[in-house]
Amino acid sequence: MIPQSNSSPAAPRLAALKVAAGAVCISFAAVFVKLAHVGPTAAGFYRMLFGGASLLVVLLVRRERLRLSGAALGLAAACGVLFALDLAFWHQSIHYVGPGLATILANFQVFFMAIVGVAFLRERLSWRLLVGIVAAFAGMYLVVGVTWAELAATYKWGILLGLITAVCYTAYLLTLRRVRRLPAVSRPTPVATIVVVSFVSAGCLAAVVALRGEGFGIPEGGTAVTLVAYGLVGQVLGWVLISWGVQGLEASRLGLLLLLQPSLAFVWDMLFFGRPTTALDIVGVALALAAIYLGATARRSSSNVSR
């Protein structure tokens, strides 16, 4: 799936372009959710349905096997459930606090991954990581903490849901890492894994849509185009581009390029949805993004899982 050869001097530049393009694609994900005139959970369902179907086509074109061993299938299904929770909480957060802040909060998974690593996986707590954690929450305090008492109840819920999203994504990544560490004979390809994850997530989200009474109806053609774009751009194109480029870059450069996703999501929120932003907000967001970079590039004893 991921090219291994980087012998050409241009290879690192090409890898960087692929990761940057993938991050830009994913940065529009929250925008699509906000623009789609369907419920937040329904938007997640259509993302996983359209994205999973597209990846299945990729799998068939590449003639890769979809058959998974019992262990791989169980872990991939667990990933699907966790990712469904991630999308459900994140999409609701987007509707409450906007695409920019919701995406930055979701990227706090970097710190929750670190906490799990230090607490349970015997990883060392580096100074970069410690500074990153402190800076992240200092940045968020500047954005929302200073005016906390003045915020609406739904906005406060949106912040909490954004942090819960990060916890769910952490659990998803840890489970996905177990899939990648299966013996080679039973380890599925990345595309096969994400196909299973996509359809399991779609099934879980469909059940939630039915229980919540959101409905599956797509009211007009514009929303249909938005949902298809959400599945193709956010679930397929962005993921494929990052997967192609991720192994051709060192951790520091990769972490910096992946910051394009939350950074641009905040920019799109200001440009497309008129998010009111003060100088204090800009400082807080910059501090939080710098902290995410420190957390993403901190050296730890076990291998990191890239988003």
- Concatenated DSSP letters of the chain: -------STTHHHHHHHHHHHHHHHHHTHHHHHHHSSS-HHHHHHHHHHHHHHHHHHHHHHTT------HHHHHHHHHHHHHHHHHHHHHHHHHHHH-HHHHHHHHTTHHHHHHHHHHHHS-----HHHHHHHHHHHHHHIIIIITTGGGS-HHHHHHHHHHHHHHHHHHHHHHHHHHHHTS-TTTPPPHHHHHHHHHHHHHHHHHHHHHHHT------SHHHHHHHHHIIIIIIIIHHHHHHHHGGGS-HHHHHHHHTHHHHHHHHHHHHHH-----HHHHHHHHHHHHHHHHHHH---SSPP---
Question: What's the mean per-residue pLDDT of the chain?
Answer: 88
The pLDDT of residue 191 is above 80:
yes
* Window from 65-69, 243-247, 286-290 with minimum mean pLDDT: 243-247
The pLDDT of residue 3 is above 80:
no
Q: In the chain, what percentage of residues exceed pLDDT 70?
A: 93
Tell me which of 36 and 299 has the higher pLDDT. 36
Identify which of 55-69, 104-118, 273-287 has the greatest average pLDDT: 273-287
pLDDT of residue 117: 83
Report residue 243's pLDDT band, with 50, 70 and 90 as the boundaries.
confident
Contact indicator for 55, 198 with CB cutoff of 8 Å:
yes
pLDDT tens-digit readout, 131-185 = 888 999 899 999 998 889 999 999 999 999 999 999 999 999 999 989 988 898 8
Report residue 189's pLDDT band, with 50, 70 and 90 as the boundaries.
confident
pLDDT of residue 10: 63
pLDDT of residue 281: 94
**Mean of the pLDDT values across residues 35-51?**
96
The four Cα atoms 119, 120, 126, 128 give a dihedral, to 10 degrees, of: -80
Q: What are the extents of the domains in the chain?
A: 11-297
Token pair for 281: 């907000």
The pLDDT of residue 4 is above 50:
no
pLDDT tens-digit readout, 244-271 = 887 767 777 888 888 999 999 999 999 9
pLDDT of residue 129: 83
The pLDDT of residue 301 is above 50:
no
The pLDDT of residue 306 is above 70:
no
Report residue 123's pLDDT band, with 50, 70 and 90 as the boundaries.
confident
**CA nearest to 41, candidates 211, 162, 158, 260:** 211
Report residue 299's pLDDT band, with 50, 70 and 90 as the boundaries.
low
